[in-house]
Amino acid sequence: MKREMFKEVEVSGRRFRIGRLDALTGSYITTLILMQMLPFGDAQVTEGHVTKSRSLMDKATFLDVQSECLKVVAELKEVGDNMAPLPIMLSDGRWGVEGLDTDTMTILTLTIHSLIFNIADFFQGDALNNLIKPISDLSPFNAKE
């Protein structure tokens, strides 16, 4: 089966195209996400009890991950008779389209769509669906595909 290179979603009444991360960036982000979600040695055993020493991702790392995810997202805009993909974030970190710099929910939703589209291959069966189920029922994340 050929791997999809793009996925289109509608968020906040706008059409977007999610692309693929390059392999190195995808590996980096997947490893970070897995280290946040799974007990890769972050548990300590004391007196027969397991305690977690997991901490939240720091702001710099989160912004790095989010920026990389958003760099593969383009808004689909009508140009003449064609739909043109306009990158929402430029390679230097500036916004590529108007109206997203203060739209937190759309940016968060697009970040999550990009993550899911790009790391789904690392999970088999329903493992990914089980991991995202707690947030999938929240209305902003129910974007139309």
pLDDT, averaged per 10 consecutive residues of the chain (145 residues), comes to: 87 95 91 69 49 69 94 95 95 92 95 91 63 57 53
Asked if 112 and 104 count as a contact pair (C-beta separation under 8 A), the reply is no
Contacts of 35 by beta carbon, 8 Å cutoff, 6+ apart: 42
Query: Distances from the Cα of 46 to the Cαs of 102, 107, 142, 143, in angstroms?
Result: 46, 41, 42, 44
The predicted structure's pLDDT at residue 57: 78
Q: What torsion do the CA atoms of 34, 35, 39, 45 make, to the nearest 10 degrees?
A: 180
**pLDDT score, position 65:** 93
Cβ(102)–Cβ(95) below 8 Å: no
At residue 70's C-alpha, the angle toward residues 128 and 93, to 5°, is 150
What are the residue boundaries of the structural domains of the chain, listed by start?
6-138
Determine the residue type at 58.
D
Query: What token pair was written down for 74?
Result: 């383009």
